[in-house]
Amino acid sequence: MNSAGVPQRRGGVLLHPTSLPGPGYCGDFGADARRFVDLVADAGLRIWQVLPLGPTHPDGCPYQSFSVHAGSPDLINLHWLVEQGWLTPEQAQGGLTDRYAKRQALDQASRAFFRQLESSPHSPMVAAYLQFLEIADFWLEDYARFHAFRNSLQQRPWTTWPEGLRKRDPAVCDATAATLAPQISDLRFRQFVFDCQWRELRDYATERGLLLFGDIPIYVHLESADVWAHQPMFDLDDSGLPNTVTGVPPDYFSAEGQLWGNPQYNWALMRETGFRWWLQRFDSAAKQFDIARIDHFRALQAYWEIPANAVTAKEGHWVEAPGRELLQAVRANYPELKLVAENLGSITAEVEALRKEFKLPGMLILQFAFDGNPENPYLNHLHQSGDIVYTGTHDNDTTLGWFNSLDAATRERVYAYFGNPDEAMPWMLIRQAMSSRANTAIIPWQDFLGLDGHHRMNTPGTTVGNWRWRFDWPQVPDGLAGQISDLLLACSRCPAGPLRAPAPGRLEAGT
């Protein structure tokens, strides 16, 4: 486990793949993703940060997934399936309209693939599929069964399933799976395709000198394969419902706090089992990314525990977590995995001590810097070289939207701090991020495009209108790559040549 705040000064961009342009209902891993990689690489940026890639619930929130290991079928590019001979162009076109249409197209491709498996069992693609089944064995079957069972029961929550399925009686689950074998095969196939496409995109990004920066959500959705398959690892009652749930107390993002509602972990059992469940999560991260952010890192030191029947997050209290032991286990098993700590919100000296003990870069958000406190750690002159600076994140307004919403006094503080520059927002703040002492500076793509608050990705504490934003290529100004490149040069963030990602797979201790 290494620090991602390496000495080389770099710039990066934050954009989730669903926000890419394209003909479908959301962005995917197709040609537009490669075009984006080319643009970013040509600009001299060296990091592409994304949000979690897992299969989402209907609200599209990447942090509330059906699985911490699986990939979202929404991100699969259907044209790739045409190239493999598993879909016709007409079938692919028909799958672009919405999730339901894409699932139908993927099932059509699945049937074609399994016909190929029977007729050409020794083909390279079949060999790749069998290898994927072996590598993903520790999570794939649980995930495929969970979705197949759920679909057969009209999408009912698993806590309402018949007892044999709900409590995972082996005989009942095996018998039910046998009746749903085609559907389970389709679900395995989707994950194989996702894995193939993500690996190809990662290889392409690596060739262009980009590191891929992923995200590890700290918590898991109750309605997920992970909770269903590992019920003892969570604080649940006999029916599978949470005894206690997750959230955060009031902070910058929400005056009422946030009641997330995920089940809390059974940390005693996690510790007793050597954190195996967590290590499998880091194993998946090591296979997918060059750098990974631990979302809500502070919960590894102490977490906000809320009674399941609470009305607001204010009813919670802090409980210490065995984060030090967990991070020791991660370091022993994945010494080369670069990790970043999301240390925003209610951060204490104990949280910072844990982060610094393991030399994990923290996050610096410039939009948080101008509250009038001269010791505000987000002010540029107080930044540390090992940390990562952002203008904002997916949870912030765009920089232009933020600036437009400031009161007069705060706006004057911004101007006074930067010396009343002629440069307008958002480039004023982008320049400050790039000139920071922090070795890594990452800018949301909306800020590079100069977009206002209508283009915000997420507003914490709300449930409507989030996670849907996409850009269009005409929004990219002529000469943007050159403008970014010039700024990187001025701020000593020029690339020093291609950066090669570590070979995918498990990173054994001592390697």
Domain locations in the chain as residue ranges: 71-202
Span 472-480, average pLDDT? 98
Span 71-82, average pLDDT? 99
pLDDT of 68 higher than 70:
yes
pLDDT of 251 higher than 90:
no
CB distance 383 to 365 below 8 Å: no
Helix segments in 339-464, DSSP class H: 349-357, 399-405, 408-418, 427-435, 445-448
Mean pLDDT, all residues of the chain? 94
Span 137-154, average pLDDT? 99
Task: Identify residue 469 by its one-letter amino acid code.
Answer: W
Instruction: Report the DSSP beta bridge partners of residue 364.
Output: 389
pLDDT of 236 higher than 50:
yes
* Active-site residue identified among 295, 397, 447, 452: 295
What is the rounded CA–CA span in Å between residue 40 and residue 230? 40
In the residue annotation, 395 being an active-site residue is answered as yes
pLDDT of 503 higher than 70:
no
Span 311-318, average pLDDT? 94
- Give me the torsion for CA of 81, 85, 90, 92, rounded to 10°: -10
pLDDT of 267 higher than 50:
yes
Span 89-107, average pLDDT? 98
CA distances from 338 to 87, 114, 285, 356, 452 (A): 38, 38, 10, 14, 33
Q: pLDDT grade, residue 1 (50/70/90)?
A: low
* Active-site residue identified among 32, 395, 397, 452: 395
Residue with tokens 């809390």: 264
* Active-site residue identified among 342, 387, 447, 452: 342
Span 436-457, average pLDDT? 98
pLDDT of 507 higher than 60:
no
CB distance 313 to 259 below 8 Å: yes
Strand 211-216 with 47-49, pairing: parallel
Give the pLDDT confidence score for residue 346 in this predicted structure.
82
What is the rounded CA–CA span in Å between residue 321 and residue 350? 11
In the residue annotation, 98 being an active-site residue is answered as no
Quick one: three-class SS letters along 55-115? CECCCCCCCCECCCCCCCHHHCCHHHHHHCCCCCHHHHHHCCCCHHHHHHHHHHHHHHHHH
CB distance 231 to 188 below 8 Å: no
Q: pLDDT grade, residue 5 (50/70/90)?
A: very low
pLDDT of 497 higher than 60:
no
Instruction: Concatenate the DSSP letters of all residues of 316-345 into one string.
Output: -EEEE--HHHHHHHHHHH-TT-EEEE---S
* Span 386-405, pLDDT tens digits: 999 999 999 999 999 999 99
In the residue annotation, 315 being an active-site residue is answered as no
Give the pLDDT confidence score for residue 420 in this predicted structure.
76
Give the pLDDT confidence score for residue 410 in this predicted structure.
97
